Amino acid sequence: MARHGGRGWYGRVIAAAVGVTAMAAVTSVWTAQAGPVDGGQAGADASARPSAGSAPARVSVDIAHASDHGARGVNITIDDGPDPDWTPQVLEVLRENGVKATFCMVGTQAQAHPDLVKAVVADGHRLCNHTVSHDTTMDTKPDSYQSQQILDAERMITEASGGVRPVYYRAPGGAFTPYSRNLAASRGMRPLGWNVDTKDFERPGAAAIVATVKSEVSNGPTILFHDAGGDRSQTAAALREILPWLQQQGYSFGFPVR
């Protein structure tokens, strides 16, 4: 999978995460001492919620691409947020079209905007762990660093949501390792890939984003968009056009398999 490089905002994200990284030894205590949590889906199968009886259920380490809606299902995935400017707009478009999506959240963003994390959950979307600081070189780093990035982000997203766990793990830029996949799976987070990269982060224009989806959706069901990292007005505009089009083509909207 292609890496997404050159987005300067991640320098600021990483800088903001320095304090988190420095406290890795402290936050790792959370992963060792946190109360047991149920890895199942609650309510309308939205996301896992804490339970007093069991640890998160282990899931497959294989990188998921398929949809739980079968051959004519598509998965809308939204990365890098939440963002106070763009996440509400994306949520509005999804709501207007009756679509549920998977939001792959950066830990520091979730921590800074817990109201938006809760809004995502309240609308029935699922949460995905996108690490603490969106380091696209994760696969070159020691296991201890990968562990800190994944487990601390899990904690930050869960706390911001009010207790709803991420149920997927998407490595920034696709920088998975056998270690990170196994760790995420052991925490009930299925590694999550994509089939269609809209490249909306390059801001090619809403029409170009729509054209990419139309031409590449036959490649597979999981479509990658972004709701943070810069001006995402083109993403919102493209979603407003592409969601009805997908429905008109006979697609239904699901979640990635777990």
Catalytic residues: 79, 226
Buried b (16+ CB within 10 A) or exposed e, 159-190: ebbeebbbbbbbbbbbbbeebbbebbbebbbb
Residue 176 corresponds to which amino acid? F
What 3-state DSSP class applies to 105?
strand
User: Which tokens is 106 given?
Assistant: 């950066």
- Find, among 137, 103, 128, 129, the residue nearest to 10 by Cα: 137
Looking up tokens 């709803």 gives: 164
3-state DSSP assignment of residue 252:
strand
Q: How far is residue 186's CA from residue 175's CA, in Å, rounded to a whole number?
A: 18
Q: What is the CA radius of gyration of the chain?
A: 17
Q: Which residues pair with 165 in a beta bridge?
A: 48
